Structure 1
Amino acid sequence: MKIFLTVGSQKFQFNRLLRQIDLLVQEGRMKDEIFAQTGYCDYTPKYYRFKQFLDRDAFEENIREADIVITHGGTGAIINAVKQEKKVIAVPRLARYGEHVDDHQTQILKEFEEMNLICACNNVENLEQALEEVKHCSYAKYDSNTHTIIGSIEDYIEDLKK
């Protein structure tokens, strides 16, 4: 399987996730092809390919080619992947590790998981189990409500014309 790991582009490190994947690869517990976009992390992966930042086209291509996307708990990365019907493992950035200003990503992941769109992995030590889960589970298809919102705006504009 091909895995794309993205930790976002905000100015926070997520070394904890990168290290865990390195450990799993080093110990032979993760044998998938992995490519990572490491952002502002200062940890350098030893056992998988990476690039600090990707342009939009390269980012989209990596998601398109991936079987599984492992990401932080940011809505943009998650929605982008589920729209393309990718299996997603999302790990929240946590304030206590200096990965974000608060722990809001845990709530975001809870909501996505309750909609059966992703596998939320709230503890990086459970990443190996999360990988096994996504390889054998089916997830709901993402249903965007963009058309509904646009329709409401168009109706509102039409009403203003009357």
Structure 2
Amino acid sequence: MTTLFVATTGGHLAQLDQLSRRIPVDPDSVWVTHANEQSTSLLADRDVEYVPYIGFHDIPGVLKAVPHAHRLLRERKITRAVSTGSAIALAYLPYLAARGVECHYIESAARVSAPSATGKVLRRVPLVRTYAQYPHWPDDGWLYGGSSFDIYLPAEQPRELGDTVRVVVTVGTAAEFPFRRLIEPLAPLLAEDGPLSKATERPVEVLWQTGCTPVDGLGIEPRPFMPAAELDAALANADIVIAHAGTGSALAVLAGGRKPLMALRLERYGEAGDDHQKDLAAELSRRGLATTIADPAELTADDLLATLSDSVVKTDNPPPFRLVDGRTGAVLR
């Protein structure tokens, strides 16, 4: 038996990597995603086939990838396929389901109250089982298997500053949506002799993971995209973390034991395809795993320092993610 794991890079891939450890294991598996610094480092020890990037609403890109799904089925004898989206899932799951492969689509944890465009399509595809990561969705066609965030818990573990204040600012791996509205006010706040340095009487060291955001004129040294292991190490060593409210960034920050300040990308500013980050930030705040930034321009040094009083811990016994057999309705084990 061979499982195909397929996901777009960024939060979708980060979720699938984590969830793959919480579902029944097949003797063999193959991963399909796009090649970038995150995926090549995260999946370095896995069997991976990289395909061209399929962007937001990229129907031609979806159609061009279907022959690859056919080849995988023929050559790798795929018996199960699992995806967390986004558009890349449309190239593989409908084709494989039509040919008898057991297919599961797990909607992103970013989608708290309603499915994505991809999810809406796959919900109507026969023989594709669709899962929400929240139990309160009203549509009976969505199964609840668990959440990517179930393995994290808030903890009161105050941290003392060292000789240098270490800050990570991360906006994820989106290749189509810049987020200068977050970076621009942070540049002076975190600058040498800026408000945070003065408040702590310490130098401030910042890792700027900026994605596709242009940062000209801001006087910072950006790292647009980074290997997952390098970013993970920086997050674990950080005193303060400011992130966009994306699922991949959230999972990376939480895995590092940090409670982040999370800024919302908004559709009206061209920062995202819709406003789903509002729901995700609200859910993380409800769980005590993040603090939402209402307006990046209003952030102060005191807001940043307040995050030092809280941390995040990982449960020793993460619950399984419950996939369901489409024929019997039984939970797969």
Q: How many residues are paired up?
A: 156
Task: Specify the code of the residue in structure 1 equivalent to 2:195.
Answer: R
| Bigger helix fraction | 1
Match of 1:122 among 291, 294, 299: 294
Alignment-derived partner of residue 236 in structure 2 = 64
For residues 116 and 5 of structure 1, the distance between their equivalents in structure 2, rounded to whole angstroms, comes to 20
Inter-CA distance 144–15: structure 2 relative to 1 (3 Å threshold):
farther
For residues 100 and 145 of structure 1, the distance between their equivalents in structure 2, rounded to whole angstroms, comes to 35
Shift of 1:142: 5.0
Task: Specify the code of the residue in structure 2 equivalent to 1:18.
Answer: I
For residues 295 and 222 of structure 2, the distance between their equivalents in structure 1, rounded to whole angstroms, comes to 22
Shift of 1:47: 4.1
Alignment-derived partner of residue 166 in structure 2 = 2
For residues 29 and 21 of structure 1, the distance between their equivalents in structure 2, rounded to whole angstroms, comes to 10
Task: Specify the code of the residue in structure 2 equivalent to 1:134.
Answer: T
Give every structure 1 segment of 4 or more consecutive aligned residues whose post-TM-superposition deviation is greater than 4 Å.
Answer: 142-146, 150-153
The yes-or-no answer on 1:42 pairing with 2:214 is yes
C-alpha RMSD of matched pairs (Å)? 2.7
Name structure 1 gaps, 5 residues minimum: none
Alpha-carbon contact 2:322-2:332 (below 8 Å) kept: no
TM-score, normalised via structure 1 length? 0.81
| Bigger strand fraction | 2
Match of 1:80 among 217, 229, 252: 252
Once the two structures are superposed, residues 95-141 of structure 1 have per-residue CA deviations (whole angstroms, 9 ceiling, x without a partner) of: 12111122111111011011111111121123224313213x32554
Question: Identity of paired residues, percent?
Answer: 25
Task: Specify the code of the residue in structure 2 equivalent to 1:132.
Answer: L
Name structure 2 gaps, 5 residues minimum: 1-164, 198-203
Larger Rg: 2
Alignment-derived partner of residue 183 in structure 2 = 18
For residues 298 and 260 of structure 2, the distance between their equivalents in structure 1, rounded to whole angstroms, comes to 14
The yes-or-no answer on 1:134 pairing with 2:299 is no
**Within 5 Å, which residues of 2 pair with 1:88-103?**
88-103=260-275
Shift of 1:148: 2.8
For residues 311 and 237 of structure 2, the distance between their equivalents in structure 1, rounded to whole angstroms, comes to 18
